[in-house]
Amino acid sequence: MNDIPKAELDRLQLGFVPLLDCALPVVAREGGFFAEEGIEVTLLRQNAWATLRDKVAAGLLDGAHMLAPLPLAMSLGLGRAPCDMLAPMLLSRNGNTIVLSKALADASHATLTDDPTTSASALGDYLRHHPHEHRPRLAMVYPYSCHHYQLSYWLDLGHISPDRHVELIAMPPPQVVDAMRDGTIDGFCVGEPWGSLAQAEGVGRLVATSAQLWPDHAEKVLGVTRSWARRYPTTLTRVMRALLRASEWLATDRQHADQALAWLALPPYLDRSVAHLSHFALDSPPIRQRLFGPDMLRPEPRAMEHIAEYIDQHMRHNGRQLDRDTVAECYSPVHFDRLAHQ
């Protein structure tokens, strides 16, 4: 690994939220790919996206596994003071599920089919014909997330108003299954393994997936501040190369995917929340979690159009307008393309 200079940092800390799509950083660490790049990486679990966001902005984390819209929201100062961010590579595509409580799914007859409009329409018809004293409460993981936007999109398919028919709240991913079990929420949109866990434990039922709503969408990214990227360019390159090699390793053998699941099941990562999974079903319908494939990890501003449209709508409601140059800067492929040509 002497074709690029030695990393400016030999030790760094990366944050992650416990989800299956934190797999590439976990594989890169446990499989020795970071070590082969001459860097010692500590992965620090954060249970809430807002906590992870603030630690990256404050420099307490060198970077993180992030929601795809988060670097843009941080750069624009949405939810906190502005912090110029960079997403130099993707970490996953697809992987989110929309889940209703067993009681609400049974009552509305909402079920998972090939067309997510079917389940949305079933829920919409039920809510309009059976007004509730308390609107069903649906959780998403963060206001500026694919989960929020995809849940809103799905509700719109069923002509369900977030203002009149349901209540939307933000909740950290590890809390949603217990919250559904105790009746705090009636549904959620979240990344795996939490949707399949709710179904496996009999408290919820999958009714739609993000791969159906936004096929092959960018879900998670590597996020760093632009100042960090400028200060440690070789470290960034080596981190990216380790993650790219982890993705390639996953692609070469089905047994590698199952080894990755065994690493994810370790207590520092997802622990018992993956005990219901017999194997790591990468790219399998209907969830179609993708962690490898041609150009799978390459960022591209045009691929963020769904996200940009929702953020622009939010900003216009508050008298602002999205600067498309900021989108291009956040998701520029220049670092990834430079790595690919080395």
Element housing 242 (H / E): helix 233-252
For 265, which DSSP code?
T
Distance CA(244)–CA(182), nearest Å, equals: 40
What's the CATH number where 173 sits?
3.40.190.10
Same domain, 143 and 186: yes
Same domain, 166 and 109: yes
Same domain, 203 and 228: no
Instruction: With a cut of 90, say whether residue 22 has pLDDT above it.
Output: yes
SS3 44: strand
The whole-number pLDDT of residue 342 equals 73
Residue 236 falls within a domain, yes or no?
Answer: yes
Same domain, 236 and 270: yes
Q: What is the pLDDT of residues 83-105, one digit of tens each?
A: 999 999 999 999 999 999 999 99
Instruction: With a cut of 90, say whether residue 1 has pLDDT above it.
Output: no
Task: From 186, 213, 240, give the residue that closes a domain.
Answer: 213
The whole-number pLDDT of residue 258 equals 95
- pLDDT (average), residues 269-282: 95
Single-letter amino acid code for the residue at 1: M
The whole-number pLDDT of residue 295 equals 85
Same domain, 64 and 125: no
Q: Which two structure tokens, joined as six digits, stand for 145?
A: 């997330």
Task: From 167, 197, 213, give the residue that closes a domain.
Answer: 213
Task: From 164, 193, 213, give the residue that closes a domain.
Answer: 213
pLDDT grade for 245, boundaries at 50, 70 and 90? very high
Q: What is the pLDDT of residues 143-185, one digit of tens each?
A: 999 999 999 999 999 999 998 999 999 999 999 999 999 999 9
pLDDT grade for 30, boundaries at 50, 70 and 90? very high
**Percent residues over pLDDT 90 in the chain:** 93
Residue 2 falls within a domain, yes or no?
Answer: no
SS3 16: strand
Which candidate, 110, 108, 166, places its Cα nearest to that of 140?
Answer: 166
Residue 5 falls within a domain, yes or no?
Answer: no
Residue 286 falls within a domain, yes or no?
Answer: yes
Q: What is the pLDDT of residues 185-225, one digit of tens each?
A: 999 999 999 999 999 999 999 999 999 999 999 999 999 99
**Residue 119 and residue 113 in contact, taking contact as beta carbons nearer than 8 Å:** yes
Rg of the chain (C-alpha set)? 20
SS3 91: strand
Residue 303 falls within a domain, yes or no?
Answer: yes
Q: Print the domain residue range for 141.
A: 96-213
Residue 3 falls within a domain, yes or no?
Answer: no
Residue 80 falls within a domain, yes or no?
Answer: yes
For 79, which DSSP code?
S
pLDDT grade for 132, boundaries at 50, 70 and 90? confident
Which candidate, 49, 272, 20, 270, places its Cα nearest to that of 140?
Answer: 49
Residue 4 falls within a domain, yes or no?
Answer: no
Same domain, 174 and 224: no
The whole-number pLDDT of residue 168 equals 97
Is the preceding omega at residue 193 within 30 degrees of 0, hence cis?
yes
Same domain, 232 and 334: yes
Same domain, 268 and 295: yes
Q: What is the mean pLDDT of the chain?
A: 96
Count how many domains the chain has: 2
pTM surpassing 0.85? yes
Distance CA(17)–CA(184), nearest Å, equals: 22
The whole-number pLDDT of residue 293 equals 85
